Amino acid sequence: MASLQGRDLLSLADFSSEEIAELLNLAIELKSKEIEPLRRKVLGLLFYKASTRTRVSFLVAMYQLGGQAIDLNTSVTQISRGEPLEDTAKVLDGYLDILAIRTYKQTDLETFAACSQIPIINALSDLEHPCQVLADLLTAQECFGSLTGLTLTYLGDGNNMANSLLLGCALMGMHVRIACPKDYQPDGAIVEQTKQIAAGKTEVLVTEDPIEAVQGSQILYTDVWASMGQEDLAESRIPIFQPYQLNEALLEKADKEAIALHCLPAHREEEITDAVIAGSQSRIWQQAANRMHAQKALLLSLLGGSY
């Protein structure tokens, strides 16, 4: 996958359908291999937001590939004292081989990418969460064998997950439906970009009707109703989002072989019920484990490691 060496991943749209397919196949291959092609390579994790799965999966993935990861706490770096992002980017560019950033503004990622020669990875921004969707696509491929023609329905807040799922599904030839309240729809520019990618080949639907959205779908997906930084809005959103809860009643309206996914952390009995999380159609823990495998493939590809 030399074509990805040295590249940035700020948005899933940075990669082609063929490149994402190669990444997913590499992730499956790496599951059965113990290799250390990234010896002496160093990954930096610069996180402005809390993280469990993203932080740990990147740390372990880099370790298992033979490299080292440094967890950079922004509160103890000069960023917390007002050092310009451009200056921090240029300094870290001289120390690290690759940098994953979890931040608020997508423009912060763009600044780092513009000021660095090393690959920059979007480990979550308010606009997108591409690393999560790589793991989601990997899980769907493992469950169904092929992604082409599958229908994924996302229920809830039109947040960064909805945005990245739109792009990821369209790129991989999947139908994608987003069901959310009127005032909580995904980013309009990304919806239009997704429709251009789909170009009449696959369905792109944004609707307020959750029942319409889940009909015949093979993958039902949800996320918290208030993202990080919006916790003070969580309680007031519950009555607005209640019709979009991923529960057994909605799951029964989907394809009989449908699976349930959640990017976690979950607020049980809010956006998803305990019965669905623990049910036979849940693939949530497989999905969480696949974060590490998808990111192994990503790290190896961006750093050009051979094995």
The answer to whether the beta carbons of residues 178 and 158 sit under 8 Å apart is yes
Residue 198 shares a structural domain with residue 219: yes
pLDDT at residue 137 in the model: 99
Residue 155 shares a structural domain with residue 97: no
Residue 28 shares a structural domain with residue 58: yes
Residue 197 shares a structural domain with residue 213: yes
Which alpha helices (DSSP H) does 199-279 contain, by range?
210-214, 234-241, 248-252, 274-278
Phi, psi of 123 (to 5 degrees): -90, 10
Residue 163 shares a structural domain with residue 283: yes
Which alpha helices (DSSP H) does 185-262 contain, by range?
188-198, 210-214, 234-241, 248-252
pLDDT at residue 1 in the model: 46
Using CA atoms, how far apart are residues 92 and 101, in angstroms rounded to an integer?
A: 12
Using CA atoms, how far apart are residues 104 and 118, in angstroms rounded to an integer?
A: 21
User: pTM (2 decimals)?
Assistant: 0.96
Residue 111 shares a structural domain with residue 144: no
Radius of gyration of the chain (CA): 19
Using CA atoms, how far apart are residues 32 and 54, in angstroms rounded to an integer?
A: 21
Residue 40 shares a structural domain with residue 168: no
Residue 125: closest CA among 73, 160, 80: 160
The answer to whether the beta carbons of residues 268 and 277 sit under 8 Å apart is yes
Residue 260 shares a structural domain with residue 298: no
Residue 163 shares a structural domain with residue 280: yes
Residue 263: closest CA among 170, 144, 71, 131: 131
Residue 34 shares a structural domain with residue 62: yes
Residue 62 shares a structural domain with residue 185: no
pLDDT at residue 237 in the model: 92
Instruction: Give the structural domain span for 211.
Output: 132-287
Domains in the chain, number = 2
| Per-position pLDDT tens, the chain of length 307 | 448 999 999 999 999 999 999 999 999 999 999 999 999 999 999 999 999 999 999 999 999 999 999 999 888 788 888 899 999 999 999 999 999 999 999 999 999 999 999 999 999 999 999 999 999 999 999 999 999 999 999 999 999 999 999 999 999 999 999 999 999 999 999 999 999 999 989 999 999 999 999 999 999 999 999 887 777 777 899 999 999 999 999 999 999 999 999 999 999 999 999 999 999 999 999 999 999 999 999 999 999 987 7
Length of the chain: 307
Q: Whose structure tokens read 């309240």?
A: 181
The answer to whether the Cα torsion of 295, 21, 205, 109 is positive or negative is positive
CATH for 106: 3.40.50.1370
Residue 53 shares a structural domain with residue 110: yes
pLDDT at residue 191 in the model: 98
pLDDT at residue 81 in the model: 83
**Could you give the residue numbers annotated as active site?**
102, 129, 132, 223, 263, 291
The answer to whether the beta carbons of residues 166 and 204 sit under 8 Å apart is yes
